[in-house]
Chain A
Amino acid sequence: MPKFEPILLANIGKPDSHTLKVYEAGGGYRALKRVLAEMKPVDLIEMVKSTNLRGRGGAGFPTGLKWSFLPKDHPGPIYMCINADESEPGTFNNRILMEFDPHQVIEGIILSCYATRAQTAYLYLRCEYPTSHQRLQAAIDECYAAGYLGKNICGSEFSVDLYMHRGAAAYICGEETGLIESLEGKRAWPRIKPPFPAVEGLFHKPTVVNNIETVACVTQIAARGVEWFKSIGVPSDPKNPRDPGSYGPKLYCLSGHVNNPGCYEAPLGITCRQLIEEYGGGVWKGRKGKAAIPGGISMGLLTEAEFDTPLDFAGPGKAGCLGLGTAAVVVLDETVSIVDFLHNSCRFFAHESCGQCTPCREGTAWSLTMLNRIKAGKGRLVDLDLLLEIGDSIGIMPGTTICGLADGAAWPIKNAIRKFRGEFEEYIKRTNPDGYQSTEAARALPVLAGH
């Protein structure tokens, strides 16, 4: 195992790491006490700003900057929403933090509330995480009893309440404005932006949405300082004054065809190959890799030849992927059919599109229909161009949809077909020798069962 010393995962593995007693014994909540006694909220915002911490939920937006968009001198209330919907296929780092170190998360939430002057925080938790739910609730109860939550925290003027809010199994609740709508008791239809949540969010009030790992980083920044955080990762590009760089440790999730799947902490910028070899123990069964998802299925695919891509915020984009996303790496070995991969991806997005925008609702549904047809041996070469047409025309990037789910649906299509076109063509010709050249409108297949 490589020698990078884990910080975010440092407590994990200790007996009873989820309890207040063990957390405090390791120095927990000392940073909170010091910040409350010595720093003003603006100082904490400045501190987080100067680390260039970028959100770990997928978009990589600089956290301190996001906080500074809140209106100054707002009479309140200001809301903090903690995004624990974690539903991006391949991703489970938030779960690890919530199950094994809930207090590191809660300390970060309290600090983030202090910086933004939010007095109410809602933690939106996907309902598929019963153990997280139970551990977090126990930790929240401990915090109220110990005076870390509630009125006049640690004897200061500052008060905050933290409530958990359970989701109901819908991926779109992870999109920040879908989350807000869902919290308000409505269907989770993402909102058109602007206005951004910082200006008008939950209950029409200024709101910050941050990911679980992001707030865990806030805890460590408050405890260890700016220098520590900036000593890890990849510096900003000096030729691009607007590049915030990729600083700090990152929790990488590794799954699929590797020997040792798991959640590993490494400096931002580790390459996909290093992660697979040094942490994952290599591709399983002595096989070769064929491709890997770099950061959750929405990000697309790296081919084996692209495995040396650094997994920082800029790396996957240079290899034609959507971005770093959630830094969840899923490895496909050489035996995987790329047709099966894309079918799985299209099935996911067709199931999870909220249906609000026509290009996304229809595009995801039709791409699944075409993949079903190809898999059933009725594919035509023209389908590949139709699929690419969908991939190139749905999403925020081409400007046709409200939220980024459609971009996430598009990228696997574009990457898979453009990077593995030969394999698709070979499959279609082999399974549909009489019809692959047809360009006639295809007949619908019978609807497959499912819910």
Chain B
Amino acid sequence: MATAERILTDEMIEAIKAFFPRYPTRQAVTLPALHVVNDRLRYVPLQAVVEIAALLGLKPAEVQDTLSFYGFFKQDKPHGETRAWVCRSISCALRGGDELLDHICHAAGIAPGETTPDGKLTIEFAECLGACEFAPCVLAGSALLRNVTPQSANAFLNDIRKGAPSNGHQ
């Protein structure tokens, strides 16, 4: 690994280190560190896992074990500029959530979990987004799209295509 190019920038390392005083163990900084990297790179490649582990005094396998438990951090390539989570849990499903996911995927030409070829949008299904009063809903980056209809979904997709990311990532 010594020859691989460093992925964590100095800024990321500082941001991760800022969490150290909050916890009595370094391992507790695992999730915060993964978020620091993911917020900036939109994925956490293996090389970053190795570097995070070194920073936290852990084995890479320990960080990878935690990372792989959560479906949240992509590892093969970055997710799109906007990551859209379409809710499929019960309150949304009762108001057309499954059909909405179908519609959005069809209109964008990708399957759940995939990213559009222009890299602008990743669509994923989500379990309850905690916004059931706005069912069916979509969390796009940090923007919550409420009571989404096929029409408002199309408008959202058009904005994305025109390059107006919905708050990209947080």
Contacts and interface: CB of A to CB of B under 8 A. Distances in A.
Interface of A: 77, 86-92, 94-95, 126-131, 133-134, 161, 163, 165-171, 182-188, 203, 253-257, 261-263, 293, 297, 328, 330, 332, 336, 340-341, 344-345, 347-348, 351-352, 354, 449-451
Contact of B93 (A126, A134, A344): A344
A185 B28 contact: yes
A297 B85 CA distance: 20
Listed from nearest, the 5 A-B pairs whose CB atoms lie closest are A185-B30, A187-B69, A130-B142, A168-B70, A185-B27
A261 B90 contact: no
A345 B90 CA distance: 7
A88 B95 CA distance: 18
Given A133-B170, A169-B70, A256 B94 contact: yes
B130 A182 contact: no
A182 B133 contact: no
B136 to A, nearest CB: 11
A92 B131 contact: yes
Contacts, number: 151
B31 interface: yes
Contacts of B91: 89-90, 255-256, 261, 330
B144 interface: yes
Interface stretch (B8-16, B120-128, B148-156, B157-165): B120-128
B135 A255 contact: yes
B70 A170 contact: yes
Nearest to A120: B22
Nearest to A129: B130
Interface in B102-157: 111-113, 124-135, 139, 141-142, 144
Q: Which of B27, B89, B90, B95 has the most CB of A within 10 A?
A: B90
A451 B112 contact: yes
Q: How large is the interface on B (under 10, 10 to 19, 20 to 34, 35 or more residues)?
A: 35 or more
Given A167-B31, A297-B90, A450-B125, A95 B131 contact: yes
Q: Please classify the interface of chain A as helix (H, G, I), strand (E, B), loop, or mixed, using the class held by over half of its residues.
A: mixed
Contact of B133 (A92, A168, A186, A340): A92
A170 B28 contact: no
Interface of B: 22, 24-25, 27-32, 34-35, 56, 65-66, 69-73, 85, 88-91, 93-95, 111-113, 124-135, 139, 141-142, 144, 167, 170
B135 A89 contact: no
18 contacts: A86-B130, A87-B128, A94-B130, A168-B73, A171-B127, A183-B28, A184-B27, A185-B29, A185-B30, A253-B132, A253-B133, A254-B133, A257-B94, A261-B133, A261-B135, A293-B90, A330-B91, A354-B69
Given A163-B22, A183-B28, A451 B124 contact: yes
A148 to B, nearest CB: 18
Contacts of B135: 255-256, 261
Given A166-B32, A255-B135, A128 B94 contact: no
A134 B25 CA distance: 26
Contacts of B32: 165-166
